[in-house]
Structure 1
Amino acid sequence: MKSILPFLLKKFDLSPLPRRGVLRLAGLAAWPTWAGSQNLGPAVLPAAHSLRDELAVALKKKQALVVMVSLDGCPYCRVARQSYLSPLQKNGADIVQLDMNSLQPVQNFSGQFTTHGELIRRWQISVTPTVLFFGPGGKEVAERLEGASLPDFYGAYLEQRLEKARLAL
């Protein structure tokens, strides 16, 4: 995905403005370019296999289960995974990933088998990345973090929801 930021800067003579001052659309277009320019090594989150079991492990550690809904090839998902979620996982957070449109089997919170794609449709998720926070009984314990259009604030939004999820447990 090629950034349209240079085009917008030239077309609307916005070059003297700092990147944050540029139209929100330019910020959306610029993030994949920024992400591609960073040396972000490959980061992989484990695919969800049994949300019931994965939630039980998280709750034993007094944590919420964090579930990232991703789409293959999504540059925003890659940045969210590499820059924010993988470091959290390496520090002990329980995070799994569901892939939109995937036929990979997964056991839901009630123990029934379905696919990643079907579960995502049931949850009415249409934006990637979407990060969800689950507590006892498979209930969402914090507001969903949908999309990733504001990279300057993404980490703060994620931390805010993680704190809310911790308090809900």
Structure 2
Amino acid sequence: MRRVAAIPLSRRGLSVLVLAVAPTGLSRAAPVRTELGYTQDWFAESFLDLPEDLKEATAAGQRLAVVFEQRGCPYCIEMHTDHLVEPAIEGFVRPRFRFVQLDLHGARRVTDFDGQVMEERQLARKWRVVFTPTIVFFPERLPDPPRPGREIEVARMPGLMKKPEFLGIFSYVAEHGYVDRTSFRSWWDQRGPACGSQLEAAPPVTQSGPAPASGPASTPQSPESCP
């Protein structure tokens, strides 16, 4: 099964799962159960105008990350209830990234970075999103003239990575590791193995169909110094 899961229509969940205390002094991580799966109580409340979301993220000193999920996706559930509540991961990601959550098969209207308005499922096809969860990362500013998200993205996680690499790709984006056209895989191969062991590699996850772009995980140290 592909790594695929749930998108919220409401921030009012059926239950709140408090699993960890973020090391940054923020309130505790709280994955929220929704009718379609899970969300995080700190994800953005977006009007799905992505150019505006990018401006707001940049103004707040954050990077924009658009995550596609779908109903019944076990890997999306794992991302919300395991990865994003890991104190080292949440403590690094939460203050640095603005998340906009989309449904791979959804019908809500979304404005792409080129100004085109379409349903979530149409945007997913336009951006060639196949697996869930897929997280697409963007630069701080739009090019002139504006272009579609698929043409301006700086990194992409096409399926759930193990925890060390999951944290690593957020570090890669935060540190602008892509600026000299270095791929995340090359960046990680150079920097990941040199780190310590604060994050243990997650156990391997079996799935049918193509695996996400994630090789054997290394064990990074602290998100502030590693990768």
**TM tier, smaller:** 0.5 to 0.7
Does the aligned pair in 2 maintain the 1:70–1:97 contact within 8 Å?
A: yes
For the structure 1 residues 84 and 93, does the alpha-carbon distance in structure 2 shift closer, same or farther, using more than 3 Å as the test? farther
Bigger relative contact order (CA 8 A; separation at least 6):
1
Deviation of 1:167 (Å): 2.5
Q: Does residue 140 of the first structure (1) align with residue 153 of the second (2)?
A: yes
Cα shift readout 1:98-118 (whole Å, capped 9, x = no counterpart): 101111111111222111110
For the structure 1 residues 76 and 47, does the alpha-carbon distance in structure 2 shift closer, same or farther, using more than 3 Å as the test? farther
Equivalent position to 2:121, from 117, 123, 131:
117
State the structure with more CA Rg.
Answer: 1
Deviation of 1:155 (Å): 2.4
Does the aligned pair in 2 maintain the 1:141–1:164 contact within 8 Å?
A: no
Match runs of 1:94-105 below 5 Å: 94-105=98-109
Root mean square deviation, CA, Å: 2.9
Does the aligned pair in 1 maintain the 2:44–2:98 contact within 8 Å?
A: no
Q: Match for residue 173 of structure 2?
A: 165
For the structure 1 residues 112 and 95, does the alpha-carbon distance in structure 2 shift closer, same or farther, using more than 3 Å as the test? same
TM-score relative to the length of structure 1:
0.64
Cα shift readout 1:87-131 (whole Å, capped 9, x = no counterpart): 467546301111011111111112221111101101111111111
Task: Judging by fraction of residues, say which structure has more helix.
Answer: 1
The runs of 5 or more residues in structure 2 that have no matched partner are 4-16, 20-30, 33-37, 143-148, 180-227
AA in 2 matched with 1:129: P
TM-score relative to the length of structure 2:
0.49
Q: Match for residue 11 of structure 2?
A: none
Q: Match for residue 22 of structure 1?
A: none
Matched residue count: 129
Cα shift readout 1:57-94 (whole Å, capped 9, x = no counterpart): 11123332011110112111112133334746754630
Q: Match for residue 134 of structure 2?
A: 130
In 2: Cα distance, 1:46 partner to 1:120 partner: 19
Q: Does residue 93 of the first structure (1) align with residue 105 of the second (2)?
A: no
Q: Match for residue 51 of structure 1?
A: 50
For the structure 1 residues 81 and 46, does the alpha-carbon distance in structure 2 shift closer, same or farther, using more than 3 Å as the test? farther
The runs of 5 or more residues in structure 1 that have no matched partner are 2-27, 29-37
In 2: Cα distance, 1:133 partner to 1:93 partner: 9
**Percent identical:** 28
